[in-house]
Amino acid sequence: MSDRVVVAGAVYDRGRLLAARRSAPEELAGRWELPGGKLEPGESPEQALVRELREELGVETEPVERVPGEWPLKPGYVLRVWTVRLLSGEPRPLEDHDALRWLGPHELDDVDWLDQDRPAVAAVAGLSAE
């Protein structure tokens, strides 16, 4: 059986990366992640990402490029990440999160990322440094 895909967005605005602090479930609450979620049946990863960011943050976004790589989550799930451009709206923690931060290039270590998001954030940082 193939793994289920969880998509997450590296949302950039004026050179800063958006980090979101999870409010649930209890074992993840307080840790920071790239916002996103699971694909629904029939959705492409890009469609799922646009939907999740609309639901969770109240913004319209456009996936730009896939960040090379794939990272294991809990058994049966893998994380794939896209860089994302903010088209409209100011992100607000509407669902799943209780705080947001915009991180400049030298601030990426300032938040306590979920373990599984750390390699993804490192890959994103490598990409944006090119």
Could you tell me the smallest distance in angstroms from the CB atom of residue 4 to ligand CDP?
9
Cis peptide before 63 (omega within 30 of 0): no
Among 59, 79, 86, 121, binds ligand CDP (CB under 6 A): 79
Burial class, 65, CB count within 10 angstroms (exposed 0-12 / middle 13-18 / buried 19+)? exposed
Listed ranges 70-78, 82-90, 101-109, 122-130: which one lies at the site for ligand CDP (CB under 6 A): 70-78
**83 vs 71: CA distance, rounded Å:** 15
Inter-residue contact 84 to 9 (CB < 8 Å): yes
Could you tell me the smallest distance in angstroms from the CB atom of residue 35 to ligand CDP?
7
Among 19, 53, 96, 124, binds ligand CDP (CB under 6 A): 96
123 makes contact with ligand CDP (CB under 6 A): no
Residue 11, both tokens: 């949302």
Compute the C-alpha angle 68/72/74, nearest 5°. Answer: 150
Among 3, 38, 44, 62, binds ligand CDP (CB under 6 A): 38
Cis peptide before 25 (omega within 30 of 0): yes
Listed ranges 27-35, 62-70, 84-92, 102-110: which one lies at the site for ligand CDP (CB under 6 A): 27-35
Q: Which residues bind ligand CDP (CB under 6 A)?
A: 6, 8, 28, 33-34, 36-38, 73-74, 77, 79, 96, 114, 116-117
